[in-house]
């Protein structure tokens, strides 16, 4: 009996093939075989939004191979991914082969056990999931192909818009405008260094204040109250409304800070000036976080590995297809009982029973539409270590696998136990209240496998009612900080919280608006370009009902309802398109948007009349004459930094870096062909020095030359 198994990728086909016998042939479809045409809308808006799918041009050879194999197969099994995208691929393959009754199997991990279990209980193609994917594809095509020409007419040729991407752009633009409006405020905090009268007791607390500023042997206490009034620093940021509120501390001038500092110092000379009023101890249990979902994995990979969402998903895709982790596009935190038991057995064997959770730990998803039938991201085998993955696939794969492994294994481990201590000190008989916090890790529990475990912040054994010796008082000036720009982690977290997109879309949302030149990365954070500002302002002004966070989140709910079988996809699309079409028809009289340009003091070398300005095009920023279109002079924009190249012009460098170079070059900002920013030498190609981060270059800057005395 011959069995034909069809998957998406060659890697997945090879991994599955290892678990199946000679009776099985596994072939990859190489992704989608059908798609909407690129040159036309491809959606019949007059007849129930019928999508005009056509065979992808470069898939003819793949289809011929599939058809040839299907003719002699006794059983056709569609084993594409278990999300809507995978269901749509399976549906189109079945349609093309004329095998509507083809078997459908799904699995969360590519292991022999999971494959055997899936083959034993095949299903039919889930039409509701196919319809949900069709609805999303149609909606995105309608917005992209109907709205993009409007942008060409009203903003600039070559621009494009997306239903979900435009909302992400709006978030980033609104955050940037809030930063621009921000006005910093000054405030002061005061730290008092005290020591116990028992000179043998030394503090073990690591102060955040430098050792030069507090005498050795003292414990730093924060001033928290003045005559019973709490000193508060309250910073609040509303991510949607963009409102950033800052409540100042009561110490808002340097004069006031110095007066308090002097008064605190005078209390040290008074009898019983500093007395421990209370010592509060509390045992705290810290529970391990839930296993990773797509969103939380991308956030942690961004924070700890500096990866973009797109790169994280590329690595996770490979780990999944090679059989190392479960399916990586998920919003569920559930884990199969067999997996839970396997990890618990591993913990008991490797660390001992005291590190094992006393009872099974279950997590509940916070997303309202989380698919609990899916599983969280976890290793397929608890015994596989990251070193083995690094050796097989490379170090970056190993590091991401290690994150996933630690997070999953920790869920079956005991709570970490911490004893927290707060020491309150009365100064000047009620004039001031000081506070110091410490903590001791009593039992590490799940933190045993966590390299980011908390360190002890141990305080001396203070005793209530004892007097303390004054050492020093120090006031520190601070400035209120503007709301931070979004980075990969924070924008994904915000999109998830607002219900924008789904696990399979987070990475593409950001990479799309970045590749379009609407945003750029500046030290790892997202900043809108002048084109991004212009596009966003036009969409907000004229398509506010579409480019709207609650509305976009509602559309995601509607697509989920289609996937769950409670709504039909055509009415959902129609409900969106009817008012959208009216907005499109009203664009004729809308004024054209002018993209802001940044002026320079450089004269145009061609017409000699205008100044050069910085514009943004398809391939990034460039210089052009401000008199365009009367003068069409352009030239590349080279952005210099104030740093010199640490390699070229250096006698210690290899000759390959010095050839043809006289003196050190300047570090300039460049971009790769795919638009990623990096830093290189202005003497290229004679010097090929390059770095991704500016901090790495600063570390290598040469020491300033010392001029001899005249």
**Which domains does the chain show, CATH number per domain?**
3-125 (3.40.50.140), 135-182+484-585 (1.10.460.10), 186-287+419-479 (2.70.20.10), 294-414 (1.10.290.10), 597-637 (no CATH), 638-710 (no CATH)
Confidence grade of residue 454 (pLDDT, cut at 50, 70, 90) = low
The 10s digit of each residue's pLDDT in 406-436 is 999 999 999 999 999 999 999 988 889 999 9
Q: At what angle do helices 488-498 and 294-305 cross, to 10 degrees?
A: 160
**182-196 average pLDDT score:** 88
List active site positions. 327
Tell me, what DSSP letter sits at residue 185?
A: -
**388-393 average pLDDT score:** 97
Those residues with Cβ within 8 angstroms of residue 264's Cβ, 6 or more apart along the chain or in another chain:
190, 192, 223, 427, 428, 432, 470, 473
The 10s digit of each residue's pLDDT in 567-585 is 999 999 999 999 999 999 9
- 504: part of which helix (H) or strand (E)? none
**638-659 average pLDDT score:** 62
pLDDT above 50 for 658: no
Percent of the chain exceeding pLDDT 90 equals 55
pLDDT above 80 for 708: no
Dihedrals phi, psi of 515, to nearest 5 degrees: -70, -25
Q: What is the pLDDT of residue 296?
A: 94
β partners of residue 192? 221, 473
- Residue recorded with tokens 């079945």: 94
Q: What is the pLDDT of residue 207?
A: 40
pLDDT above 70 for 142: yes
Q: Dig out the tokens for 555 from the structure.
A: 């559309």
**323-343 average pLDDT score:** 93
pLDDT above 50 for 206: no
CA distances from 629 to 22, 607, 621, 624 (A): 68, 12, 18, 10
- 658: part of which helix (H) or strand (E)? helix 655-658
Q: 493 near 205, Cβ under 8 Å?
A: no
The 10s digit of each residue's pLDDT in 678-693 is 888 888 888 888 888 7
**318-331 average pLDDT score:** 94
Q: What is the pLDDT of residue 212?
A: 39
599 vs 605: which has the higher pLDDT: 605
**690-699 average pLDDT score:** 75
Q: What is the pLDDT of residue 593?
A: 87
Q: Which has the minimum average pLDDT: 16-30, 112-126, 179-193, 542-556? A: 542-556
The DSSP annotation for 44-67 comes to ETTTTTEE--EE-GGGHHHHHHHH
CA-CA-CA-CA torsion sign (294, 299, 305, 311) = positive
Q: Dig out the tokens for 462 from the structure.
A: 């203070």
Q: Which segment, 199-203, 237-241, 485-489, is predicted with the most confidence on average?
A: 485-489
CA distance 106 to 109: 9
pLDDT above 90 for 437: yes
CA distance 397 to 386: 8
CA distances from 708 to 83, 663, 664, 702 (A): 71, 20, 21, 18
Q: Dig out the tokens for 547 from the structure.
A: 């480019």
Confidence grade of residue 653 (pLDDT, cut at 50, 70, 90) = very low
């Amino acid at each position: 009996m011959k069995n034909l198994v069809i998957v998406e990728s060659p890697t997945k086909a090879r991994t599955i093939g290892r678990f199946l016998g000679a009776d099985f042939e596994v072939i990859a479809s190489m992704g989608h075989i059908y798609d909407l045409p690129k040159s036309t809308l491809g959606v019949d808006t007059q007849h129930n939004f019928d999508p005009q799918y056509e065979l992808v041009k470069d898939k003819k050879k793949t289809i011929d191979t599939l058809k040839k194999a299907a003719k002699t197969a006794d059983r056709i099994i569609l084993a594409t991914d278990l999300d809507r995208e995978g269901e749509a691929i399976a549906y189109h393959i079945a349609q093309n082969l004329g095998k509507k009754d083809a078997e459908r199997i799904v699995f969360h991990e590519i292991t022999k056990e999971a494959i055997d279990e899936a083959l034993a209980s095949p299903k039919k193609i889930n039409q509701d999931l196919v319809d949900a994917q069709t609805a999303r594809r149609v909606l995105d095509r309608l917005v992209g192909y109907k709205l993009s020409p409007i942008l060409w007419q009203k903003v600039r040729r070559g621009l494009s818009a997306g239903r979900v991407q435009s909302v992400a752009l709006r978030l980033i633009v609104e955050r940037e405008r809030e930063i621009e409006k921000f006005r910093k405020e000054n405030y002061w905090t005061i730290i008092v260094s005290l020591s116990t009268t028992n000179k043998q007791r030394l503090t073990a607390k690591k102060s955040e204040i430098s050792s030069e500023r507090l005498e050795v042997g003292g414990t730093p206490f924060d001033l928290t109250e003045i005559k019973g009034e709490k000193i508060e620093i309250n910073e609040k940021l509303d991510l949607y409304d963009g409102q950033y509120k800052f409540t100042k501390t009561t110490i808002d001038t340097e004069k006031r800070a110095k007066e308090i500092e002097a008064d605190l110092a005078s209390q040290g000379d008074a009898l019983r000036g500093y007395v421990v009023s209370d010592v509060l101890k509390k045992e705290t249990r810290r529970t391990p976080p839930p296993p990773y979902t797509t969103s939380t994995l991308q956030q942690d990979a961004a924070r700890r590995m500096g990866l973009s969402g797109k790169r994280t998903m590329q690595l996770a895709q490979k780990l999944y297809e090679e059989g190392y982790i479960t399916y990586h596009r998920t919003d569920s935190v559930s884990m199969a009982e067999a997996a839970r038991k396997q990890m618990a057995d591993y913990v008991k064997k490797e660390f001992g029973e005291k590190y094992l959770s006393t009872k099974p730990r279950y997590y509940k998803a916070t997303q309202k539409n989380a698919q609990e039938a899916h599983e969280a991201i976890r290793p397929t085998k608890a015994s596989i270590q990251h070193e083995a993955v690094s050796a097989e696939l490379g170090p970056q794969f190993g590091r991401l696998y290690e994150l996933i492994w630690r997070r999953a294994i920790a869920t079956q481990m005991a709570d970490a136990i911490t004893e927290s201590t707060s020491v309150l000190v009365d100064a000047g008989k009620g004039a001031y209240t000081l506070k110091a916090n410490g903590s001791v890790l009593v039992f590490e529990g799940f933190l045993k496998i966590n390299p980011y475990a908390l360190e002890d912040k141990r305080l001396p054994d203070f005793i209530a009612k004892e007097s303390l010796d004054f050492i020093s008082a120090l006031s520190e000036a601070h400035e209120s900080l503007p709301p931070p720009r979004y980075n990969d982690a924070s924008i994904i977290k915000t999109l998830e919280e607002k219900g924008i997109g789904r696990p399979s879309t987070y990475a593409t949302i950001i990479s799309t608006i970045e590749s379009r030149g609407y945003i750029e990365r500046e030290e790892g954070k997202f900043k809108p370009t002048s084109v991004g500002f212009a596009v966003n302002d036009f969409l907000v002004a004229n398509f506010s009902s579409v480019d709207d966070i609650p509305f976009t989140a509602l559309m995601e709910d509607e697509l989920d309802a289609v996937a769950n079988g409670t709504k039909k996809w055509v009415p959902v699309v129609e409900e969106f398109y009817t008012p959208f079409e009216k907005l499109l028809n009203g664009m004729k009289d809308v004024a054209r948007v002018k993209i802001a340009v940044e002026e320079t003091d450089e004269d145009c070398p061609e017409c000699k009349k205008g100044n050069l300005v910085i514009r943004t095009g398809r391939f990034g920023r460039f210089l052009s004459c401000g008199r365009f279109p009367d003068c069409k002079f352009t030239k590349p924009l080279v952005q210099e930094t104030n740093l010199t190249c640490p390699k070229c012009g250096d006698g210690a460098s290899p000759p390959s870096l010095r050839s043809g170079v006289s003196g050190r070059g300047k570090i300039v900002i460049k971009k790769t062909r795919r638009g990623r920013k990096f830093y290189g030498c202005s003497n290229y190609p004679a010097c090929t020095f390059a770095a991704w981060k500016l901090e790495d270059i600063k570390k290598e800057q040469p020491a300033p030359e010392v001029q001899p005395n005249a």
